[in-house]
A and B are shown apart, each in its own frame.
Chain A
């Protein structure tokens, strides 16, 4: 006694146009195996590389889905009718909530729905959820960048709240990445936040950078700055760089082949020569301006619009309210992106900068490593 199988239109090219075939199999698995053996190409249409039935293939025995029966073990008897029907699915790019949220983008010819889709598909890594990472994270999330990676090992401190607008008073003591994730979720729940509570170092930088399209640099120390630069150069990632000190800031975009931080500063300053924000102070609004410009340059990169800040270093003086632009060129002798690079893998950046790992950092590192 044979079983009749309904072959859907899309598969009939494989069955020589037949819409019904008959088989003698005793169960669904046997029946599918028989079809796979008889009709070359059928296996790929039904199963994945591991041999599992594709999710989008529905099999019915006498109009009853096999998932409601015994799956592929469902027994067959003579006269049964088996139907194989591929899923019918689709969808539009945006929900009504997204169309409303991004309506001002949709009005722009250079963005529009297709640009918004690029933003949605983009993955941006923010190094640091602090002064620069805060405005950058907020604006990238608001603009609809689909995935934001955040790496920071610190906890929210009262002294952060004067400028790190991702964090709020009641979060003091919370992990910065968790606080940031919470704020971004409140601003735009469509954004996926990947929180990495870790110290960026030579052991994890490659692994992390590889996961993202763009890296936005919001670090506050020289070892991390050189590390982020080298990792971006070695992986061919575009680094949207920013820095602040007291009343001044700078922004640039290091695109592979167009120079890097080491072309500008081949060697770090002597330890202690350039004080950090924690030592020298920083005006509260300044990182808001610099981080926002980094977010803007990131969005321009994603959309492929305008003139990017590649090969140019933008300097901002908050007191005189002046912007200046310096030309940057790739240095052929650069040890990492030059014609004959001597740095081809990540090094020990604390040693390179002549700075011992601060005790709290070493402590944090141990703590993080345990998890």
Chain B
């Protein structure tokens, strides 16, 4: 079964981006090399209603080409400020445009006093199928 390795510092960066952007959703591009997240790039959210929508700003989309030029696989991340870290119907719908790409998701719904903290999960979505990708967290990086 496929797993993806990610550094603790990369998770921290994505969580920090999500917290800074809340209550809006935030998004970004990640580069993946042989099952390992090697780069995390925050992008702007151009959605008209960012409270519960994201769309990577087209001005930042050339990141995708950069990542692939470097010979890496392209993946994405986005936050759900108040709902679970699981693809919504909207997420699954839009995954039609990037089927099978690595999708990292962070939820802040438990990131409150007395809560269990941010939730972080990875998926590959081939609509309508959502496949969970177990993450191996490298605490040393």
| Chain A residues with a Cβ under 8 A of chain B | 6, 8-10, 19, 56, 58, 60, 63, 65, 67, 83, 85-99, 113, 117
Contacts and interface: CB of A to CB of B under 8 A. Distances in A.
Contacts of B76: 88
27 contacts: A6-B65, A6-B68, A9-B74, A9-B98, A9-B101, A10-B97, A10-B98, A56-B97, A58-B61, A85-B61, A85-B64, A87-B58, A88-B27, A88-B64, A88-B76, A88-B98, A89-B55, A91-B47, A91-B90, A92-B82, A92-B83, A92-B91, A95-B23, A96-B82, A97-B51, A99-B83, A117-B89
Chain A binding surface, main DSSP class: mixed
A66 to B, nearest CB: 10
B52 A91 contact: yes
A176 to B, nearest CB: 30
B128 to A, nearest CB: 14
Contacts of B80: 92
A96 B23 contact: yes
Interface in B55-102: 55-56, 58-59, 61-62, 64-65, 68, 73-74, 76, 78, 80-83, 87-91, 93-95, 97-99, 101
A10 B99 contact: yes
A9 to B, nearest CB: 7
A99 B107 CA distance: 14
Interchain residue pairs A-B with the least CB separation, the first 8: A91-B53, A95-B51, A90-B91, A89-B55, A86-B97, A88-B56, A92-B83, A91-B90
Contacts of A97: 51
B42 to A, nearest CB: 13
Contacts of B29: 88
Chain B binding surface, main DSSP class: mixed
A10 B96 CA distance: 9
Nearest to B76: A88
Interface in B84-141: 87-91, 93-95, 97-99, 101
A58 B94 contact: no
A89 B56 contact: yes
A96 B81 contact: yes
A98 B83 CA distance: 11
A91 B91 contact: yes
B28 to A, nearest CB: 10
Interface in B28-54: 29, 47, 49, 51-54
B62 A83 contact: yes
A86 B99 CA distance: 11
B74 A95 contact: no
B61 A88 contact: yes
Given A10-B101, A94-B82, A95-B23, 11 more contacts: A19-B68, A60-B61, A60-B62, A89-B55, A89-B90, A89-B97, A90-B88, A90-B90, A91-B25, A92-B90, A95-B52
Contacts of B47: 89, 91
A90 B54 contact: yes
A63 B55 contact: no
Contact of B94 (A19, A88, A92, A96): A88
B102 to A, nearest CB: 11
Contacts of B27: 88
A95 B88 contact: no
Contact of B97 (A88, A92, A99): A88
Nearest to B98: A10
